[in-house]
């Protein structure tokens, strides 16, 4: 029973941290894209300590709370469509050959971005997003998508390093508490 209580408390703390990052991201202009990436990093300790199922539940809770509490719905939907990636990253890395794994990662990223913005434009008809896309050239939009892919590559690399840092530096200190 005590281990389950620690798991719930640890999940609550990480979830509160992620939602706080999401809400703060809504206050900063660039936060629309940076906050979901930072908030999804909280899945790493949950994944390391309690497994993919617990990390998926944490992701689901943060997604629902973000949709309810974060005033910037674009930011919240980006988390909903991409926030699961740190928990799924290990599964992608097991795919062989490595080139196929990288290709799958980028296909998934681009599909998630396309789905999120299709939902924002065609279902929710968010006027700010719709007007931004109407006044932007196709070449600039392609450049933004390319920049997003480069950023995703850097994010994936950073997740690998953050996972290593957590395992080597923080986990030995936390293991007695969780």
State the average pLDDT over residues 57-68.
98
pLDDT at 67: 96
Q: Where are the domains of the chain?
A: 2-174
139-163 per-position pLDDT tens digit: 998 999 999 999 999 999 999 999 9
Query: Is 25 in contact with 75 (CB distance < 8 Å)?
Result: yes
Report, at the CATH architecture level, how domain 2-174 is classified. Answer: Orthogonal Bundle (1.10)
Q: What CA–CA distance (Å, rounded) separates 72 from 38?
A: 16
Say if CB 83 and CB 59 are below 8 A apart. yes
Instruction: Give the residue from 11, 26, 25, 109 showing the smallest Cα distance to 62.
Output: 11
What is the pLDDT of the chain when averaged over all its residues?
Answer: 93
Q: In this structure, how many other beta carbons lie within 10 angstroms of the beta carbon of residue 47?
A: 23
Ramachandran assignment for 141, one of left (phi > 0), alpha (psi -120 to 50 degrees), beta (any other)? alpha
Identify the band that residue 3 occupies on the pLDDT scale cut at 50, 70 and 90: confident
Q: Is 34 helix (H, G, I), strand (E, B) or coil?
A: helix
Mean per-residue pLDDT, 64-81: 95
The CA-atom distances, in angstroms, between 154 and each of 53, 143, 172 are 26, 17, 27
pTM of the predicted model as reported, rounded to 2 decimal places? 0.91
Statement: residue 1 has pLDDT above 70: no
The pLDDT, as a whole number, for residue 135 is 85
Contact 25, 36 (CB under 8 A): yes
Read off the pLDDT of residues 76-103 as tens digits, 9 standing for 90 and up: 999 999 999 999 999 999 999 999 999 9
Confidence of residue 126 (pLDDT cuts 50, 70, 90): confident
pLDDT > 70 in the chain, percent: 99
What average pLDDT does this structure show over 45-52?
A: 94
């Amino acid at each position: 029973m005590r281990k389950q209580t620690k798991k719930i408390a640890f999940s609550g703390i990480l979830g509160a941290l992620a939602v706080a990052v999401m809400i703060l991201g809504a206050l900063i202009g660039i936060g629309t894209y940076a906050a979901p990436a930072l908030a999804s990093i909280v899945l790493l300790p949950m994944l390391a300590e309690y497994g993919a199922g617990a990390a998926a539940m944490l992701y689901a809770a943060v997604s629902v709370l973000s949709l309810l509490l974060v005033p910037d719905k674009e930011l919240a939907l980006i988390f909903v469509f991409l926030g699961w990636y740190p928990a799924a990253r290990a599964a992608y890395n097991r795919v062989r050959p490595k080139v196929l794994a990288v290709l799958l990662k980028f296909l998934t990223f681009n599909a998630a971005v396309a789905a999120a913005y299709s939902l924002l434009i065609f279902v929710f008809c968010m006027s700010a997003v719709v007007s931004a896309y109407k006044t932007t050239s196709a070449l600039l939009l392609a450049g933004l998508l390319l920049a997003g892919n480069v950023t995703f590559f850097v994010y994936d690399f950073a997740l690998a390093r953050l996972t290593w840092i957590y395992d080597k530096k923080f986990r030995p200190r936390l293991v007695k508490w969780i």
